[in-house]
A and B are shown apart, each in its own frame.
Chain A
Amino acid sequence: GQQVMQIPQYQHVQEGEDFTTYCNSSTTLSNIQWYKQRPGGHPVFLIQLVKSGEVKKQKRLTFQFGEAKKNSSLHITATQTTDVGTYFCAGPPQGGTSYGKLTFGQGTILTVHP
């Protein structure tokens, strides 16, 4: 079945440093979504990428979808303590929409030292 892998599993940074997490799918994705879960909280939708090679920015966050639509990345510039949490990527089954199942990566846990 479809597998979605994320690396690294953990990342510790000093405040102000940059951070990147990578997501790789075993199958081509129709779209990829990113979620953030604060410690003790629940996942919150950040963004969805649909087109091959798409790049989207949200303030200090840059999201990229690979040309082959099998990988994605999230880059945070100049991390802040508010960026702490677990970042998940997720994609629908091949040929499907997210109306049905989503396969989540195992997440990257980000800690930021002030």
Chain B
Amino acid sequence: DGGITQSPKYLFRKEGQNVTLSCEQNLNHDAMYWYRQDPGQGLRLIYYSQIVNDFQKGDIAEGYSVSREKKESFPLTVTSAQKNPTAFYLCASSRHDQQYFGPGTRLTVT
């Protein structure tokens, strides 16, 4: 069954801790993306990667880091430098135009 998986669905962390969100896809897509969604707002692009071992900053990359060591995986680390990390994080992939989204991870930092 092809698709994108994100884990965990809910994540709780203390302020000052780094946390890594997982994103895996078995769609054989080259491009992958990380978005942040805040209540009542649209999707804001954090990072994207068009190919293995390469990634680009999106519109709100500060306080985040990513890696793309494998085509299937694009983990996102929310660092302690991110001032407002509590949000819903969505991972997506695409081959041509259409983007396919994972179920998301809801991160709460207290």
A residues near B, CB below 8 A?
A: 1, 6, 9, 31, 33, 35, 41-45, 48, 88, 90, 92, 97-107, 109
Contacts and interface: CB of A to CB of B under 8 A. Distances in A.
A42 B103 contact: yes
Interface-centre pick from B43, B48, B102 (highest chain A CB count, 10 A): B43
Contact of A43 (B45, B50, B101): B101
A90 B33 CA distance: 14
Interface of A is mostly: loop
Contacts, number: 64
Contact of B100 (A1, A45, A90, A92): A45
A18 B48 CA distance: 37
Contacts of B104: 42
Contact of B31 (A48, A88, A100, A106): A100
A98 B48 contact: no
Interface residues of B, number: 26
A108 B110 CA distance: 30
Contacts of A107: 41-42
B43 A43 contact: yes
Interface stretch (B14-22, B65-73, B78-86, B89-97): B89-97
Nearest to B91: A42
Interface string B26-45: 00001101010000111111
Nearest to A4: B42
